Structure 1
Amino acid sequence: MKHKILILSCVLVLVALVVSACGPTTTVQPATQTPQSAPTQSPPQESTSGSSASTSGKKVVITWWHITTAEDQKAVWQKLADEYMAAHPNVEIQITVMENEAFKTKMTTVMQSGNPPDIFQSWGGGVMIEYAKAGLLQDITSYLDADNGAWRSTFSPGALAVYAYEGRNYGVPWDMGMVGFWYNKTLFSQAGIEAPPKTWSELLEDVKKLKAAGITPIALGAGDKWPAAFWWEYLAVRLGGKEAFDKAYSGQGSFADEPFVEAGRKLQELAALQPFQDGFLGATWGDEATLMGNGKAAMDLMGQWAPGTFRDNSPDKKGIGDALGWFPFPMVEGGAGDPSDALGGGNGFAIGKNAPPEAIDFVKYLTRPESQIQCAQVGFCLPVVKGGEAGLSDPLLIQVQKGAANAKYFQLYYDQFLPPATGSVVNDSVQALLASTMTPEQAAQAIADSFTQEMK
């Protein structure tokens, strides 16, 4: 018991520090041992909805917290919840919708009470693993494996692995994609830029052309930290590739090795051109999205959820329409990474330790191909369930999906892959690099020191 309390205390301190991105594939090494604090559930019974869960007919209240705030997007979740409740009159689904940062703050409080929501937003990786270690999540492996793995077989294995720890699942994904550049074709044309940059040098030249035309080259909400971290992480991917990350993570190398230091140098090289809007160090992701949605900035490095947020932050809720384009992060000359390598993530549902079987049944309903098609049609998910891709019609999202599928090396966001405290140091250090309060060497060393401490 003392050990469990200690783990929980550590989780709360770590999670309070984490400022993460909102989601793709990483491989979690399988293991047969399940943490003692999170026992495997009994095999589920068949539900009247066709999903695997026990439905007693007694009144059941399911609490669901999500961060899908765009009006058209959250309407899809509400519609699916209404459908489920209509088919299961004994079930009441109480939905709480929160902005990303408010969600994380409130999660710290509820985790301290030991009473998490039944279903809640998760990005998998480090934070989810710490919750699982502390016994705050429910092991849903048996539900996935029921009926000869019928539910499990619908998912992309790599995407599902992001929500596993030591071979056990504590949640499932509903969206996976990669970070890339969203850009305004009209503003590019006004600056005399004929095509998106394919190299880092070309990107810097395009920044200069945009500034010369009186256009803000890049929107950035560095006050939220995680949008800025994408820049350093992607540069590390391009410069060091999988080999550099694997060496640092395994302890054979370090996050203070040259590729990570050079990533800081490249980022400060960009920052020296003053490419971001005024006040970017204190701006939020919402501010960033508003600039893009209103056509006031030419580029934004962001994940697959961006177009919907751009639209929702524009006056007419249409964004910049056909002027929006997408291109992958440029190759960095001399880097060891392959140009196809990708940084990304996505979104999923974690299951709280006290969730009733009906909550898992509902999550199964949310991850049916038919449900995934509806999410894809509105444009806020890249489906992870077979058949869900039929909902994709947006050529930009199809580009993102293909980019993720073709990546030779896919790196989950550092603040999700690495231990929570180290992820927080990454975000803080990148913000400090942009503010010129840390050198590239100091930033890389701070990350390396944090990781070494966490792994002891």
Structure 2
Amino acid sequence: MKKKVLSVLLSAAMVASMLVGCGGGDTPAAPAADNAGSQDTASAGDEAGGDGVQEITWMFWDDLNATEDLISIGYRDTVERFNKDYAGKYHVNVVTTNLEEYYAKLNALVAAGETPDCFIVSPGPNLDVYVDPGVAADLTDYLKADGWLDTFNGGEGAFSQQTYDGKIYAVPLNIAAACVFYNTEMFEKAGITTMPTDWQGMLDACEKLQGAGYTPLTISAGTAWCLSMLAGYLCDSEGVDLAAIDSGNASWLDSNVVNATNKLVEISKYFQPTAAGDTNDVATANFYNEEAAMLIQGSWAIAQINGANPEFEDKCGVFAFPGTDGRVIAKSDSLAMSANTAHPEAVIAFMKYFTDDTAQKYTAEVGGKIPVTTVEYDASKAPAQLEYVMDVFGNAKSTFGFYNESMATTEAGACFDDAMVAIYLGTPVEEGLATVEDFYKNNVWNK
């Protein structure tokens, strides 16, 4: 059966505050501008080859040659398809790094005047730091020139988190939701027949799984945003208002923040013993290798799970994080262009390959992410988990973003990440939250 992603659903997801992912690791300080107001500094791929081919660079947060992640493999195919189709005219060279080091290495290139012509980025503060100093180019005219913008679900609404003062600075590639992935066989053997819908139900499920001899939950505190994503769900379920905190009308020491953080400590007794040092990749592998019953992660993990262990797909279920009153963390990875690229036409042509029908069908039918365009895809070919994620979105009342990507600054998000890890490792809740409060006093509220 052909399935077209509903415009209303996707527009709502994109218009709302979005996280993420998934593209974050430790969030670095904002980069200095790459002489964005001047054309004296060339971006990394400015030189044309000796045969007149325009060479551009794209920076990405995974090794495209070694990866098992199906979305990354799709991106590799897109690069190869672009280079083949534009042979003799354009050629893209890929600069890769691991997820945790991505932004630090990107910022180092920006500071050195070697900004990649094209780079992947998450909406929110991680994009702000490239828009504000003029590192990222305005893409509005390119999107409107030939109807490209109209191919996106919701039109301009799809770009709400990439738009500043009416100008669009990045192109979304896909949509993902943060959900609870679970091992259906382990749940059945533990006697869990209905999925948790509230916090007590989540704790009860963990207790049953542990009683059946399973590790209930795998998570990464070694990759801090993974732990803070869980903390973000808990804060939102307690009614924490980030906008009120940013404006100084609420505090990180308020009772609802304390209650949420106490819940994080409460559920941490069900984490795998190595959670403190495990990276995101290791924590995810614990799940698809059936060493733990649940994984709280974005639906981008579908591509990683199915790529590494295809046979696990049949026993991988998905449900919405419980107790959030229908609110879901949503994320879109995006592409930005250097304001100093010497070959903007080549970069735009490259970006369009990520949003053409071939790439967007692959996004759904193989990668298990939700496309951002109006493309029709064959739902029968898509990973089983995508249908579950679509159900989560379909039942969602609203979406919100990763906490560390929704705060006043990237540094504030990093401070929150660090505080959640410290609290998990044993720092008293109020003491850990006081470090975030102090950061806001010194760097947000007094600015």
> What TM-score does the superposition give when structure 2 sets the normalisation length?
0.81
TM-superposition CA deviations, 1:114-159 (whole Å, max 9, x none): 3211111211110211121122111112112224x54255244444
Determine whether 1:342 maps to 2:339. Answer: no
Report what 1:386 is aligned to.
Answer: 374
Letter of the 1:59 partner, please give it.
Answer: V
Report what 1:7 is aligned to.
Answer: none
| Cα distance, 1:198–1:72 mapped onto 2, change above 3 Å | closer
Aligned match for 1:70, one of 63, 68, 71: 68
Determine whether 1:211 maps to 2:210. Answer: yes
Aligned match for 1:85, one of 77, 83, 86: 83
> What TM-score does the superposition give when structure 1 sets the normalisation length?
0.80
Report what 1:248 is aligned to.
Answer: 245
| Cα distance, 1:152–1:438 mapped onto 2, change above 3 Å | farther
- Aligned pairs (5 A) from 1:57-136: 58-68=52-62, 69-70=67-68, 72-89=70-87, 90-136=89-135
3-state secondary structure, aligned to 2:369: coil
Report what 1:263 is aligned to.
Answer: 260
Q: CA deviation at 1:255?
A: 3.5
Letter of the 1:330 partner, please give it.
Answer: P
Q: CA deviation at 1:395?
A: 3.9
CA RMSD of aligned residues (A): 2.6
Determine whether 1:238 maps to 2:237. Answer: yes
Letter of the 1:307 partner, please give it.
Answer: I
Letter of the 2:181 partner, please give it.
Answer: W
Aligned match for 1:359, one of 317, 342, 347: 347
| Cα distance, 1:257–1:153 mapped onto 2, change above 3 Å | farther
Q: CA deviation at 1:424?
A: 0.1
Q: CA deviation at 1:389?
A: 5.4
Report what 1:414 is aligned to.
Answer: 403
Paired with 1:328 and 1:266, the residues of 2 have a C-alpha distance of: 17
| Cα distance, 1:64–1:74 mapped onto 2, change above 3 Å | same
Aligned residues of 2:176 and 2:332 also touching (Cα < 8 A):
yes
Letter of the 2:260 partner, please give it.
Answer: A
Paired with 1:451 and 1:403, the residues of 2 have a C-alpha distance of: 34
Aligned residues of 1:38 and 1:132 also touching (Cα < 8 A):
no
Aligned residues of 1:21 and 1:415 also touching (Cα < 8 A):
no
TM-superposition CA deviations, 1:166-211 (whole Å, max 9, x none): 3222211111221110000111112121222111111111111111
Same amino acid, percent of matched pairs: 26
Report what 1:22 is aligned to.
Answer: 22
3-state secondary structure, aligned to 2:293: strand
Determine whether 1:306 maps to 2:332. Answer: no
Q: CA deviation at 1:82?
A: 2.5
Aligned residues of 1:220 and 1:276 also touching (Cα < 8 A):
yes
Determine whether 1:201 maps to 2:200. Answer: yes
TM-superposition CA deviations, 1:62-88 (whole Å, max 9, x none): 211223533543332232223222332
Paired with 1:255 and 1:104, the residues of 2 have a C-alpha distance of: 27
| Cα distance, 1:438–1:353 mapped onto 2, change above 3 Å | farther
Aligned residues of 2:313 and 2:383 also touching (Cα < 8 A):
no
Paired with 2:316 and 2:160, the residues of 1 have a C-alpha distance of: 32
- Aligned pairs (5 A) from 1:22-61: 22=22, 58-61=52-55
Report what 1:326 is aligned to.
Answer: 318
Gaps of 5+ in 1: 1-18, 24-34, 42-56, 332-337
Paired with 2:134 and 2:84, the residues of 1 have a C-alpha distance of: 32
3-state secondary structure, aligned to 2:21: coil
- After TM superposition, the structure 1 stretch with the greater mean CA deviation from structure 2, 402-411 or 354-363, is 402-411
Paired with 1:152 and 1:252, the residues of 2 have a C-alpha distance of: 40
3-state secondary structure, aligned to 1:179: strand
| Cα distance, 1:133–1:238 mapped onto 2, change above 3 Å | same
Aligned residues of 1:180 and 1:328 also touching (Cα < 8 A):
yes
| Cα distance, 1:388–1:62 mapped onto 2, change above 3 Å | farther
Report what 2:393 is aligned to.
Answer: 404
Report what 2:277 is aligned to.
Answer: 282
What is the number of equivalent residue pairs in this alignment? Answer: 396
Q: CA deviation at 1:307?
A: 2.1
Paired with 1:186 and 1:372, the residues of 2 have a C-alpha distance of: 32
- Aligned pairs (5 A) from 1:214-233: 214-233=213-232
TM-superposition CA deviations, 1:322-360 (whole Å, max 9, x none): 1100000111xxxxxx52111231311121223322111
Report what 1:48 is aligned to.
Answer: none
Report what 1:140 is aligned to.
Answer: 139
TM-superposition CA deviations, 1:411-433 (whole Å, max 9, x none): 11122222100110111111112
Aligned residues of 1:310 and 1:319 also touching (Cα < 8 A):
no
Letter of the 2:267 partner, please give it.
Answer: L
